Amino acid sequence: MIVTTLRPGERIDQLYSQDIQIIQSPEVFAFSLDAVLLANFAKLPLRANSQTVDLCAGNGAVGLFMSHQTKGKIAEVELQPRLADMARRSVTLNGLADQLTVYEGDLATVNQWIPKDSVDVVTCNPPYFADLPQSQKNPNPYLAIARHEITTDLATIVATTSGLLKMNGKAYFVHRPDRLLQLLELMTANRLAPKRVRLVHPKPGKEANMVLVEAIKDGKPGGLRFPAPLVVYDEGGKYSAEVGALLYGEH
């Protein structure tokens, strides 16, 4: 059994479907369903010489939740030192230090660690809200940076993603539906051809509140697919069968 040191205010949570433990703190950052959905939506190469990069990694949730998909390497890039530290300790906690590496720094400088045009898959759960003067921001700076484009923006993230990817490499994003058009336009402008868009609805009859997008670098234009929407809760307020399986396993 691997023992890890918890800082004040931290706890260990578990994604039961994959037997992954992750260090969380409500004071700093805690993963939510969007991380689980993004990790499941992304399709990683199984081969051992593949390279995946997760940008805006936070406490490492997406990379950890994808680790079972591949024998290849996964790099996580996170700007905030405390979150990067949590991610590193979670990697160690799960015995995945040989597979996952956490890089602490600005994603715009990622090529100091990972060469351009060398990556098979890039994933990103970016800040959802633009940094506008009238924006109401969380007084907690950790949460404000996670939710608003204070230290980066969508244009930088998409350009960085494209720069990392090999030709025919794949990008996977989770975002808000009201920014889908901007995301698709930025992808197209950065040699990323959108190929799959899946809307996520909180419950039946409600508007979508998340969207998952797959794109291929230098992919052929056209061929955009819209899989059946994902519904998080059923009419009775319980997780839908699909979401329940992602969180707790088939049982």
Return the percent helix, strand and coil in the chain, to nearest 5: 30, 30, 40
Pick from 69, 78, 60: nearest CA to 21: 60
- pLDDT recorded at residue 31: 87
- Reading the block at residue 182, the tokens are 């901007």
Q: What Å distances lie between residue 25 and 14, 75, 126, 140, 170, CA to CA?
A: 13, 22, 19, 13, 31
Q: Phi, psi at residue 180, to the nearest 5°?
A: -60, -45
Question: Residues 171-205: pLDDT tens digits?
Answer: 999 999 999 999 999 999 999 999 999 999 999 99
DSSP label of 208: P
Q: What is the CATH number of the domain that holds 136?
A: 3.40.50.150
Domain limits for position 177? 11-248
Is 156 strand, coil or helix?
Answer: helix
- Reading the block at residue 195, the tokens are 């190929």
Please tell me whether the overall predicted TM-score, pTM, comes out greater than 0.85 for this model: yes
Within a domain: residue 6? Answer: no
Question: Residues 101-112: pLDDT tens digits?
Answer: 999 999 999 999
Within a domain: residue 129? Answer: yes
Within a domain: residue 179? Answer: yes
Tally of domains within the chain: 1
pLDDT-derived band at 141 (thresholds 50, 70, 90) equals low
Within a domain: residue 1? Answer: no
